[in-house]
Amino acid sequence: MTTLFTADDKAVLLDSKKRRYLIDLADDGEFHSHAGFVRHSDIIGQAEGCRVRSTKNGEYVVLRPTLEDFVIEMPRGAQVIYPKDLAPICMLADIGPGMRVFESGIGSGALSTTMLRYGAEIVGYEIREDFANRAKTNVRGFLGAEALDRYEVHIASSYDGIDLAHGTFDRVVLDLPEPWQVVPHAEHVLRAGGILLAYTPSITQAAQVREALKGKWIDGRTIEVLHRGWHIDGQAVRPDHRMVAHTGFLSVARFLGKPSAD
What is the DSSP secondary-structure string of 75-132? --SSPPPPHHHHHHHHHHTT--TT-EEEEE--TTSHHHHHHHHTT-EEEEEES-HHHH
Residue 74 is part of which domain span? Answer: 69-255
* Residue 223: CATH number of its domain: 3.40.50.150
CB 171 within 8 A of CB 99: yes
- Spatial distance between the Cα atoms of 153 and 151, rounded to a whole number of angstroms: 6
Instruction: For residues 25 and 117, state if they share a domain.
Output: no
Instruction: For residues 99 and 164, state if they share a domain.
Output: yes
In order along its 262 residues, the chain shows pLDDT tens digits of 568 999 999 999 999 998 999 999 999 999 999 999 999 999 999 999 999 999 999 999 999 999 999 999 888 877 889 999 999 999 999 999 999 999 999 999 999 999 999 999 999 999 999 999 999 999 999 999 999 999 999 999 999 999 999 999 999 999 999 999 999 999 999 999 999 999 999 999 999 999 999 989 999 999 999 999 999 999 999 999 988 888 999 999 999 987 655 4
Instruction: For residues 111 and 211, state if they share a domain.
Output: yes
Specify the pTM.
0.91
User: H or E element: which one contains 72?
Assistant: helix 67-73
